[in-house]
Amino acid sequence: MQGNKLLWVVSGLLVSAAVAFGATATIMSVQVRKAEIRDTPSFLGKVTSGLAYGDKVTVGQPQGAWMRVTAAGQSGWIHSSALTTKNIVMKAGDGAQTSASSGEMALAGKGFNSDVESKFKANHKDIDFAPVDRMEKIKISTSALQKFAVTGGLKMSEGGAP
């Protein structure tokens, strides 16, 4: 009897938590420099539009690790690793007051940023960033990756965890 009561209380709490989470998690921010919206929940899906760091999206039903999103009238799918529930604020003052107290705010460009990197470079002239700049430019297109998999007889299933 005691156990049953406890079970009810716990499930009640879980339902409330789920409702609360659902109510607050509908808006998410892009946490990568460039995110792509696709027409299907897969990296093989066609890219229909792009979003930038800090852009807000309205999140609908997820499918696996993919989120159905709407942003600026465009709908499609984004992988959940490109999104955060934190409110990414692009400039100091933009909503900082309300969000900071919830611990869910991230101010873009704050902390370790390009200014800090420049200062580091000035302090360490022996460390050359050119090879890093070069390697960052190497981007293999999705179609090339797809061709690589097909010709190599690789059957792909995408990552699972959100």
CB closer to another protein, 2 vs 123 = 123
Integer Cα distance of 21 and 23 in angstroms: 5
Of 2, 5, 23, 127, the one binding another protein (CB under 8 A) is 127
Integer Cα distance of 79 and 64 in angstroms: 9
Q: Sign of torsion, CA 22 24 29 32?
A: negative
Among 6-14, 15-23, 55-63, 108-116, which window interacts with another protein (CB under 8 A)? 108-116
Q: Does 103 bind another protein (CB under 8 A)?
A: yes
Give the nearest distance from C-beta 18 to another protein in angstroms: 22
Instruction: Give the CA-trace dihedral at 27, 18, 86, 98, to 10 degrees.
Output: 80
Give the nearest distance from C-beta 19 to another protein in angstroms: 25
